[in-house]
Each structure stands twice: as structure tokens, then as C-alpha cells.
Structure 1
Amino acid sequence: MNQIKVILTGHTRGLGASIAEQLLARGVHVLALSRKTHPTLAASAPGHFEQIALDLGDTAALAAWIASERLSRFAEGASQIVLINNAGTVQPIGPLETQSCESIAGAVSLNVTAPLMLSAALMAATSTPAFAQTDRRIMHISSGAGRNATAGWSVYCATKAALDHHARAVALDQTLPLRIASVAPGVVDTDMQGEIRSTGVEKFPALGRFEALKREGKLVTAADTAQKLLDYLFSAEFGESVIADVRELSTK
């Protein structure tokens, strides 16, 4: 029997919450990792949803969780096993001289280190003969900021570019079968957008453009974006383009 299992990070709000809701609506088994737990999702899909309260920016805590083999046990019996690296932060926003060492380290740990650790852990957990026929997929939730530099976002741009280049390099590996893609979701109407708009123009010169997108109703809903991401993720075309943008996707 086909059994799809998904590990999802950052599921408690915004795009991550919409992805989790839609995965469960599709009957997918979900293991969700985030700093906090979602208050209602567990009740909506008993037996299909597990969540772990884990600070993904705490590298030592994440390494300990991976060592617990919880991920390995979750993957057992899956005909398709998927990792969606969604958790991330846009902070610190501002020019270089305003960025604290702590905020930089935290952003790199959450935006880059955690996705890379989980990606490696997933492949290690499914490297046994029991998973020889398993369809493995990894989706990094990237950003246009990783492909086009934006003033005030040097850390965010750098971390998203790192995910893109990680996907490119991993796609060259021919050790175990894997489909991987780093996908930009477009400008989505989430709490992160509110956080961006609350930043002063002195720290973020492009502020006016984001305010205009909200004012003119041009932000895409998290639900619509989640549907497009998942349609692509489960399509036959997933991974054919390692670097993708949800606004340009065509799935069959």
C-alpha cells in the first residue's frame, strides 16, 4: 500500500501552517518540527499528525533529536518520504553594522544549518535495503531574495542562496535516488510580511515596494501558495528544475 510521509519544519503559522493543513487534508502522514506546537492541527487528523516542539536554531538540540532515531522510525513503511524545509527567519534586517553576532548566528542556524542537517539525516535514515524502492524528495523553501540581492537583507539573501546552491550540489550526487528542488514561493501574505513592513526604511530601503504590494492586494495567500507547492512536490516534474519559482511552475 502506498504510504506518503512528510517531515515539515515551521508548521505553526503562515505558509507552514497552510502546508500542514493541506497535507493532512490529502491523507498524508506528517511529522512536524517547530519551536512551538500547533494548537489545533493534531485534533484535525488523529493518527496522521505528530509534532515535536524543537528549536531548530539550536544546533545541539537538533543533533540530539536526530540521534534519537525518531526520524528513522517515522520513515519506516513509507513508499514516499518527503522533507519540506520551510522554517526560517528574515531577521536581522538592516545594514551590516547593525547586525549582532547572535542574530546572524541564529539566522544561519535556522535558515541553513537545520535544513542541511535534516536533509542529510533523512538520506542516512533511508539508506538501508528496506528503502530501496522508496521515493525520496526534499523541498527547500527558498526565496527570490536568494537570487536577487536586496539592501538590508544581506543575511536573509545569503542564507536563501545557500539553500539554492545546496540543492544544486546535492542534485549532482548519484549515491541514493533523490529528487530535490529549492523553490521560491513568491510574496506571500504571512506574518513575515507584516514583520517586514514594520521595519523602518532606514534599515530596509525596499520597504515602499512591500507596503504597496499589501495596499494593492497583490500578496498571494498562504493557502494558494501551499497548494501550488504541494501540487509541484507530488508531481512527476518535481526536481527536473533544481531551482524553481512557484509563480513559474507548471505541473501535470
Structure 2
Amino acid sequence: MKAIVTGHTKGLGAAITQELLARGIPVLGLARGRSPDAATRYPGLLTEIELDLSDSAAMTAWLGRGEVSAWLAGCSTALLVNNAGIVSPVGPLAEQDPLQAIRAVTLNVAAPLALAASVVQATVGAERRILHVSSGAGRSAYPGWSVYCATKAALDRHAEAVQLDGDATVRVCSLAPGVIDTGMQAEIRATGEDRFPLRERFVQLKAQGGLSSPEDCARRLVAYLLADGFGSQAVADLREV
């Protein structure tokens, strides 16, 4: 068994990576930086690639080098956790940076979909488990989050369509993990209400202790990823499975 985790150096991605490594599962981490602490704690289990997943040209070049196939060669079970994502641009259309919207769609949608296809094509005969880290924003619209909502909804529809393809060796789930105390939440709380009118709701969640820790969420997420029932629901919420 081997895993690929995107955005493995921070927040939930770092916690997921630590949880997988603690279980003895080798991880290929894809992010703009590296995780010296995890590499030191689990020597030989973590392989890191510095890659900007919001850069389509860099992503295309890396995939073309066949490193997914090389990493997963001979693997009986391949895990893919598409965790990396950004909430920006935030605000109404009149205030959105179009180039930032392109980068968000590349990171939040194009990279996960391309990696999912690459993993499946590289592991013929193996079991493949694909987990998209989704959001409640993919299932309900929020003012100021048109790009974020659209990209998370895209992951949900992708998982549903893949499940309909009927390949029993491919298990997929687009999973909303709940509200987690990460850097993204800090960014949300720092956003002005003129761009995100629901900001106060997230401020109160933090003040009232309503945020899950990345570590607790990662334990439950990885347990679900490895469970017999993973993939029975194409779209799910971690708080309900």
C-alpha cells in the first residue's frame, strides 16, 4: 500500500500525512514546500516533490515524466488524497482577480482530476482509493465564495460520475471534513465582511471552540479511507460516516 497526498506540508494535509506515516504507509507528498519534521520522524517513508499544483504547465510537465507510475509500481493498493486547495478569490465578481480564479480552478479541480486519472492508469490490477477533500461549500452556496463553491461542487460531481463508471477496483469519495482549525480558517476570519458576509459565523465558531483539530480530523479521515465501506457513498460528510 502506498499513498499520494497533495498539500502535505500544512494544516489538514500535514496531519493526514502524519497519520498515514504513523501507520507505516509510504507517502508521496506533493506541495510547494517540504516537511522536514515528517521526513525526520519517518525516515524512508516520506518522498516529497516540490510542485505548484496551481501551475498547469508545471503540473503537465511533472505528470509527463511518469513519476506517478514509478512511485506506484508493484503497489497492490494505491491511495490518493486530494487535499490541496485554496478559498481565494473571495468576494463578488466585480472584485475577483480573474488570474487568481484560474489558479484556484487549476489547484482545486484540474490537479485532483488529473491525479485521479494518473493513479488509476498507473495501477492496473490494483485497488485504488481516491479521496477528494471537499466542503459543505460544494453543497450549499455562500456569498463571496462563488469560485470556492464551484470548485468543491466539481469534486462532488466527479466522484459521483466515477462511481457510475462501475469499476469495482476504483473506490472514490468526495468527503467534507467539517470545519477545521487551519490556516484557511484564519484567512477566512481575516476577510472583510464586504467580501464575505458570513465571516462572523466563522469568527464565532473559533471563539466557541467549534473547530476540529487537524489531528483529530485526520485520524477519522484516514480511518474512513482505509475502512471496508469507503467508497460506498460518492459524496459524504466525515461527521456522518
Give the alignment's TM-score, normalised by structure 1.
0.94
- Residue identity opposite 1:10 in structure 2: G
Q: In structure 2, how many angstroms separate the alpha carbons of the residues matched to 1:68 and 1:84? A: 21
1:160 matched residue in structure 2: 152
* Pair 1:137-2:129 in alignment: yes
Structure 1 position 176, deviation (Å): 6.6
More off after superposition, 170-179 vs 40-49: 170-179
Structure 1 position 118, deviation (Å): 0.5
Q: In structure 2, how many angstroms separate the alpha carbons of the residues matched to 1:102 and 1:35? A: 19
How many residues get paired? 241
1:106 matched residue in structure 2: 103
Contact 2:81 2:131 in 1 (8 A): yes
* Pair 1:91-2:88 in alignment: yes
2:224 matched residue in structure 1: 232
- Picking from 65, 68, 71, the partner of 2:65 is 68
* Pair 1:223-2:220 in alignment: no
Distance change (3 Å), C-alpha of 1:176 and 1:66: farther
1:188 matched residue in structure 2: 180
Deviations 1:75-103 (A, max 9, x none): 11212101100000000011111001111
- Residue identity opposite 2:221 in structure 1: L
Structure 1 position 39, deviation (Å): 2.5
Give the alignment's TM-score, normalised by structure 2.
0.98
Mapping 1:1-252, distance limit 5 Å: 4-127=1-124, 132=125, 134-175=126-167, 177-249=169-241
Identity across aligned pairs (percent)? 51
Q: In structure 2, how many angstroms separate the alpha carbons of the residues matched to 1:121 and 1:229? A: 23
- Residue identity opposite 1:98 in structure 2: E
Distance change (3 Å), C-alpha of 1:176 and 1:64: farther
- Residue identity opposite 2:111 in structure 1: A
More off after superposition, 212-221 vs 38-47: 38-47
Structure 1 position 27, deviation (Å): 0.3
Deviations 1:113-154 (A, max 9, x none): 000110111111123xxxx2x211100000000001011100
Q: In structure 2, how many angstroms separate the alpha carbons of the residues matched to 1:100 and 1:236? A: 43
Following superposition, which runs of at least 4 residues in structure 1 exceed 3 angstroms of deviation?
none
Q: In structure 2, how many angstroms separate the alpha carbons of the residues matched to 1:161 and 1:25? A: 31
**3-state DSSP class of the match of 2:215?**
helix
Unpaired stretches in structure 2, ≥5 consecutive residues: none
Contact 2:143 2:197 in 1 (8 A): yes
Unpaired stretches in structure 1, ≥5 consecutive residues: none
Q: In structure 1, how many angstroms separate the alpha carbons of the residues matched to 2:138 and 2:167? A: 27
